[in-house]
Structures are given as structure tokens and as C-alpha cells.
Amino acid sequence: MSMIPWLRSLCHLVMALLLLFNCHCISKPQIVTKNLKPLILPKPKKIETQRFIQILKSEAEIKKKLKVQRIYKKKNQETQKLTKYYFLEGRKKESKELGDRPTRNLQKPNKNPPK
């Protein structure tokens, strides 16, 4: 009697694992596990492979163009920073040559002077 519940739970566990494995294989047919043979996919036609190669080449060209644009933008940003920096330096020098502004009185006057 004690053997039957143990056997039943083992069968349930095996069935659950099979169900999980089937769902996994159906949702992702490209994945191949170590114990299983790979799925045999139909061979692509020559036209499809040529088109695929063209797509890859066009993507590579686009990536090269993007890299060039990024480098160009980075160079522009650096030059803008440099011009701003030199412009600010020039303004500082001009303000020193012309004379500094009078500084404000940073100390607040006492509202209640000592008696």
C-alpha cells in the first residue's frame, strides 16, 4: 500500500517534466540541448543567401557611417567646449583689465543693534 502513492507521485513528476519540456521546445525550436539531436531545418535557397549577404553588407556600411558621424559629433563637441572655455577666459581677462565690479556687502546689518 505504501508503494502506490510513491509511484503515483513519481508518475506525476515525470508527466509534469515532459509537459514542461514540450512547451519549451515548441516555443523555442532553435535551442538544441546536449542530449537531443538538432532540428533539421530546410536549406535556404541561393537567392535568400545572397539577399542575406546584401543585408549584412548594408548594415555594416550603415554602422561605419554612424561611427564616422559619432566621431565627427564628438570632435564638434570638443571644439565647442574649447571655444566656450577660451571665450570665458577672455571675458575674465577683460573684466580684470576693465576693473572688477564692487563686491556686495555680504554681512547682513544687525536688525537689533547692541545697546
Residue located via cell numbers 545572397? 50
- pLDDT over 50 (residue 94): no
- pLDDT over 70 (residue 113): no
Over the chain, what HEC string results? CCHHHHHHHHHHHHHHHHHHHHHHHHHCCCCCCCCCCCCCCCCCCHHHHHHHHHHHHHHHHHHHHHHHHHHHHHHHHHHHHHHHHHHHHHHHHHHHHHCCCCCCCCCCCCCCCCC
> Residue 85: what residue type?
Y
pLDDT score recorded for residue 61: 83
Evaluate the CA torsion angle 50, 53, 57, 59 in order and state its sign. Answer: positive
What are the cell numbers at 67? 561611427
pLDDT score recorded for residue 95: 45
pLDDT score recorded for residue 10: 86
Name which residue leads in pLDDT, 10 or 75.
10
Confidence at 12, pLDDT banded by 50, 70, 90: confident
Mean pLDDT to the nearest integer, 50-65: 80
Mean pLDDT to the nearest integer, 95-100: 48
